[in-house]
Structures are given as structure tokens and as C-alpha cells.
Amino acid sequence: MESNPTSSDSGTSCLGGKIDTGDTTWVLIATILVMGMLPALAFFEAGLLRSKNTLSIITQIIGGFVTLTVMWDVVGYSLTFSPVDWGFVGSPKTHFLMLNVPYDDCSVHYAPNIPTACFAMFMMMFAAITPLLMTGSFAERVKWRAFIILTVLWELLVFYPVGHWVWGKGWLYKLGARDFAGGIVIHTTAGTGAFVLALFLGRRRDFDKYHGEFPPSNLPLAALGATLLWMGWFGFNAGSALASGSIATSAVVSTQIGGSCSGLVWIALSWIRGKPSCIAVMNGVIAGLAGITPASGYINSQSTIVLGLILGFVSYFCVYLFKHKLRIDDALDVSSVHGITGMVGSIFVGFAAEKRVNPNVGDGLVFGGTHQIWVQLVAVVVAAVYAGVVTLVLAFFINRTIGLKIDHEEEERGLDIVEHGEYAYHNLWLAGSEPHYESLAQYEPIGYKTSHHIQR
């Protein structure tokens, strides 16, 4: 997150700086774009899962969104962004129930050119989407009540503290670590949590039959979700400049180039190994978008091309390693597409960041700096280890108390009917039996399918 205290446009004076109408308008639009990523994520994941679990993932994401919104209002913003630093988190008293968060005044600490309430609302969207990224890892396996408790506790114990350390100008920020839009705070933490949960829960039934790549129920729905995520990512990254201008423009350019380069790698590799895959190009673009996130406001276009290509290759082969060699059932490859890419992009800041692009970061190794690379490595390791340990503890706690995973019979019936008593595709069920799936394609080593259909 980057403030821009040098804006010279006319606006309303405030204690923190000056409310700039152009900056405020842009951040409000970016907030709406990021909000749209929540239903987009639901559509993307629902389309890639089996039809009997469609509504469960949509309910988890939308239900999680409203829960996390209320948490942010009550205490989350204060724990993350209170200027009163308690070390581990900010003071919960400073902005409890959004007290002292004005609509007509700025924040000298975080966003001196936009209203503090605008900044708080924008950051709410990041707080909401982070734990919900993990749903793609444990999809089709977790009880609803366990999901709610896991999400609430993970937000309190992982996102708020790490967000405070990096974005709330806590100890990692003071060390020099920089995360433009969430590679450390969002993708590293959620990706590590997803990996731990996938290991803890074990494999779904028929994992080996489908080589870990279960037939998707609705690829057009997944493609719609992926493209809406892509569009929302411009608000995600460029909005993190917290101002209109050169840094936001740089973030827009990097977002498009990084996502496209990674997507190109994925579609090329899937083509080399068989046929160009719709799923591959979607995952490739999202991997690039996730990985460019921490660097998007710090690097130039040429560095972005290099990073995008690296992200494509690394994420593709991590899917192959985790799912097809180690047989870890991360259902939608969150650990590879979000976690690994977030780490790579965050470390890449230490190599290619330029003060010329953004004066709020140190020059990377390529441009003669040496400090930035080490602090980026430290921040990534700290965030990953901390998120992994806390996630594992939460998984053990929930499993020992109310139970985390559904049983085999419930998995066979699907979470839509077991947990929610609803059907996504009602006509399939009116035929008198559960829908089942049959692959029409030979599975390649990487496991990406070319086509499937649903039979009644």
C-alpha cells in the first residue's frame, strides 16, 4: 500500500494532508472492482468443482464475505491499522466499531490524500478475500460450521497481525519489507494456509482415478469468474497506489503484462503436452496476476515480462510437483497458483524494484541495491512460517472439537445437499439419481483435461 502525499490537485484540507477528489474517486472505484472479485472467485471455483458442490463453495465465499466485513468493522481495521502499535497488532481501542474513522478527514499515517473511511473500506476488501482464497484448497471436504470457525480465527490470528506488520507500518515495514498489493500479506499467507489444510485433510475419494483433477461441472462459469477476477485485479493492484497518477498507471500496466505472460506460458506448456487447455490458460493468468501483485507498483515493464514468464513456469511445475508427484489434494491448486507465485513476486521486488518507479521502495539488486532483497526474503519466510503454524494449530483444534472434514458418505452425496439442502442444477436431480461424471479425454501427466460432460 502506497500513500501519495505530494498530490497537488485542489481539494479539502484535512489533518493528514489534503483530500484529492481524483484520488478519492479512483480508490472508490478500485474498492468496487475488488469487491467484484468475491463473486468472481465464487463463480471461478464453482465452475471448476463437481456440480454437487457448486452451492457450497458459493455459500462459503459469500457467507464468508459478509462475516469478514462485520469483523473488519468491529475490530479488524483497528487491529491492522491503528497507529498505536502494540507490536503484534494495533490497538483494538483506536477504531473499535470504526470510531474515529472520518469521512471528511485524511490519515497522516496511511492515506493522506483520501478520506480515512475510503481507505478503511478499500482495505476491507483485501481482508475479506484473503482467507476465502483457501476455499479452493479444501473445497468439497469441510463442514460449514468448521469453515466459519476456521475463517474467523484465521482472520484474527493471521491476516490482522501480518497485515499490521507489513501494511500497518509494524516491525516488518520498519525493517524495510515492501508489499505493494498483497503478495506477502495475502497470497503468501493464504497459499501457505491452503497447503497445510490440503495436507491435513488428505485426499478426496477417487483422487487417483482422476489424477487429482476432478471433472469440472461448468467451464463457461469458471471462465466468467476468471475474467471478472482479471478485471477486478486492476483495482486490486492499481488501487493500492491509493492515488491516481504514475504509480497506479505502472500497476495497471504490470498487472496486464504479468498476467498475460504467465497465461502464455501455461497455454504453451499444456499445448506441448497435449492440447491447449481452457483450464490451463485460466490458471496461468491468475497465477501471473497473483505473482505480480507485490511488485506491480515497484518494477518497470521489462522486469514485469521477466517476472510473468518466471511465474508461469514456476506455478505450472509446482502444480505438477504437489498434485501429481506428491499427491497432495489441493483441489484448485491454491498453494501453487497463489502461494508460490506470491512468494516469488515478493522476493522479485528485492531484485528488480526501482526508486525511479516508486520512491517508497529501495532499489533492487539489478539496480545496485542490496538491502531490499534480504528484507523481502525475511518477510516472506516469516509470513509463510507463521501462517503455516497457525493454520495447522487451528486445524487440529477444530478437528478435535467439532470435526473439520465431512465423512465419506457425505462427500459422495455432495455438500450442496448435505450442508445446505439445495441443488445448483435441479433438473439433473429430478432425473432420479445423482449426476455422475465421465471423462472424454485421456489424462496427461499434468492432468489438465480438454473436455468433459455430465451424464444423468
Task: List CB contacts of 252: < 8 A, sequence separation 6 or more.
Answer: 234, 237, 238
pLDDT truncated to tens, each residue of the chain (456 aa)? 776 544 434 455 565 468 999 999 999 999 999 999 999 999 999 999 999 999 999 999 999 999 999 999 999 999 999 998 898 999 999 999 999 999 988 987 899 999 999 999 999 999 999 999 999 999 999 999 999 999 999 999 999 999 999 999 999 999 999 999 999 999 999 999 999 999 999 999 999 999 899 999 999 999 999 999 999 999 999 999 999 999 999 999 999 999 999 999 999 999 999 999 999 999 999 999 999 999 999 999 999 999 999 999 999 999 999 999 999 999 999 999 999 999 999 999 999 999 999 999 999 999 999 999 999 999 999 999 999 999 999 999 999 999 999 999 999 999 999 999 988 887 555 444 444 443 333 333 333 333 333 332
pLDDT of residue 449: 39
Residue ranges covered by each domain of the chain: 11-408
Please report, as a single letter, which amino acid is at residue 181: A
Contact 389, 380 (CB under 8 A): no
pLDDT of residue 453: 36
Contact 334, 137 (CB under 8 A): yes
Contact 190, 340 (CB under 8 A): no
pLDDT of residue 17: 63
**What is the dihedral sign for C-alpha 113, 119, 123, 125?**
negative
The phi and psi torsions of 354 (rounded to 5 degrees) equal -130, 130
Instruction: Please give the Cα distance from 144 to 133 (Å, whole number).
Output: 16
CATH code matching the domain that covers 11-408, chosen among 3.20.20.70, 1.10.3430.10, 3.20.20.80, 3.40.50.1580: 1.10.3430.10
Q: Can you give 327-340 as a three-state secondary structure string?
A: CCCCCCCHHHHHHH
Strands 11-13 and 436-439: unpaired
Quickly tell me which residue has 504514475 as its cell. 246
Instruction: Please give the Cα distance from 62 to 42 (Å, whole number).
Output: 8
**Among 187, 134, 52, 213, which Cα is nearest to 404's?**
134
**Among 349, 378, 346, 379, which Cα is nearest to 362's?**
349
pLDDT of residue 109: 84
Quickly tell me which residue has 482467507 as its cell. 131
Model pTM score:
0.91
Question: Cα dist. 107→75, 81, 116, 180, 240 in Å?
Answer: 18, 10, 6, 18, 15
Quickly tell me which residue has 472508490 as its cell. 28
The phi and psi torsions of 191 (rounded to 5 degrees) equal -65, -40
pLDDT of residue 423: 86
Grid cell for residue 237: 493492484
Residue 7, Cβ density class (10 Å: 0-12 exposed, 13-18 middle, ≥19 buried): buried
**Among 406, 27, 391, 455, which Cα is nearest to 239's?**
27
pLDDT of residue 107: 82
The phi and psi torsions of 238 (rounded to 5 degrees) equal -70, -30
